[in-house]
Amino acid sequence: MQRLLALGDSYTIGEAVPPEQRWVEQWAGLMQAEGHAIARPVRVIAQTGWTTDELSLAITAAEPIGSWDLVTLMIGVNNQYRGRDLINFRKEFSALLDTASAAVAYRPDRVQVLSIPDWGQTPFGAASGRDLNHIRTEIDAYNQVIAEVCSERCIAMLDITGLTRRLSANPHMHAEDGLHPSAAMYRLWAETLLCSEKFGEL
């Protein structure tokens, strides 16, 4: 039985949707349907609003987090939202990715990173009064850092940012709070990840 650890923020905890509709749970269900033995529910260390340093502190508080077969990491949107420094983000994200790698015995093929969605393209973003082009530019810069750090460690990054932008006009893709993804959007993330699945024999 393969054990999955998911690290992140509101997107991983599945803010505004039932726990079974989180993208990580939907992905695990799709993996099971394909014959993979995945333990359910998925172990999640995530909370709405967390930045990289807050996730790191939570992981430390949970130590020892033990050994895992698969680890996902999705973090950074709150760093961008709060106007955090990109240089510091690179340092903290790198440390988190190293922690994720250690949890799977440094097997890069067992770590999966997801990009940061563009929250500026949500109803909440449209009503926020912020410069949406500036949000887009900053999120692209954060995702570039994530891609570079992942590339250095030969770890896959799944780009779901494009999905959040292309489908932003569809109200069914947003949760009732107008900010977080709906279960339907999470399903698309899970299906996209399944199609790009590179974990080999589990």
Q: Per-residue pLDDT tens for 79-132? A: 999 999 999 999 999 999 999 999 999 999 999 999 999 999 999 999 999 999
The answer to whether residue 186 scores a pLDDT higher than 80 is yes
What is the extent of the structural domain holding 16?
A: 4-195
Is the residue at 35 inside a domain? yes
Q: Per-residue pLDDT tens for 151-170? A: 999 999 999 999 999 999 99
The total number of structural domains in the chain stands at 1
CATH number of the domain residue 47 falls in: 3.40.50.1110
Is the residue at 202 inside a domain? no
Instruction: For the chain, state the CA radius of gyration.
Output: 16
Cis peptide before 41 (omega within 30 of 0): yes
Average pLDDT, the chain: 95
pLDDT of residue 197: 61
Total-model pTM = 0.95
Which residues fall within 8 angstroms of residue 174, CB to CB, at 6 or more apart?
Answer: 122, 123, 180, 181, 182, 185
Is the residue at 81 inside a domain? yes
Cα separation of 76 and 8, whole Å?
A: 8
